[in-house]
Amino acid sequence: MANIITLSRIFLAFIAMGLLFTGSGSAPYYAHVSFILTIFVMWFDGLDGYVARKFHESSKLGAVLDIMGDRIVENIYWVVFCALGWLNVTVPLIVLTRGIITDSLRSLALEKGYTPFGEKTMMQGKIAKFIVASNFSRFTYALCKAAAFLLIILGHIRFEYPHKEIVLQTGIICAIIAVIFCVLRGIPVIFESKRFLK
């Protein structure tokens, strides 16, 4: 069930971002639907982990699918926002590069029986565990991304409402914070991976 939720999340993200392109033409209300779908995409991010723990479905496959789902979803949003001219190209470039580096190193750890998170996490140091694998860190990072995605879409909806510009600027700030958080959470993975390269 948890893996189905993860895969459904990816599917919904593609639909949500596809609607943004369609909505730029004759059907601007599609952006409203994209916003609603994005709420579900973000909600499913936490739901899959909750279901896995609740029904004892945690597995290496689940951990890999969870990270894969996170990567696909966040990259879809950053790339589409960039393609629409809503964000600078440096945002997806940084996030994509960091993802490729950390996921490559995590694959080495997986070979040795370690997972990115959970009881068999590859993170050994207390600080590294806190920055990368703690629930606080993961939740805060997910919250920054969710706020960025939702507020940026809301800031570009073709419907005038009070403080629309403030909403958009807040979304941009959340995107910058999310990118900084993304890089900071990648650094311990690089340092902790040294032992797998020996």
Per residue in 27-79, pLDDT (tens digit) is 567 888 899 999 999 988 777 776 777 777 677 677 777 778 889 999 999 99
88 band by pLDDT with thresholds 50, 70 and 90? very high
Helices (H), 24-120: 30-54, 60-83, 90-111
Q: What's the mean pLDDT when you consider all of the chain?
A: 85
Q: What are residue 152's DSSP bridge partners?
A: none
**Residues 178, 165: contact at Cβ < 8 Å?**
no
- Say what angle helices 60-83 and 30-54 make with each other, to 10 degrees: 160
Two tokens, residue 87: 């964000």
Residue 10 β-bridge partners: none
Residue (of 59, 35, 52) closest to 116 by Cα position: 59
Q: What residues does 149 pair with on adjacent strands? A: none
* Confidence check: pLDDT of 25 > 60: no
pLDDT band with cut points at 50, 70 and 90 for residue 127? confident
Q: Provide long-range contacts, Cβ within 8 A and 24+ apart, for 146-152.
A: 146/42, 146/45, 147/171, 147/174, 148/172, 148/174, 148/175, 148/177, 148/178, 149/38, 149/41, 149/42, 149/77, 150/35, 150/38, 150/39, 150/42, 152/81, 152/86, 152/87
| Higher per-residue pLDDT: 113 or 152 | 152
pLDDT of residue 26: 47
- Between CA 171 and CA 153 the distance in angstroms is 9
Note the pTM of the prediction, 2 decimals: 0.85
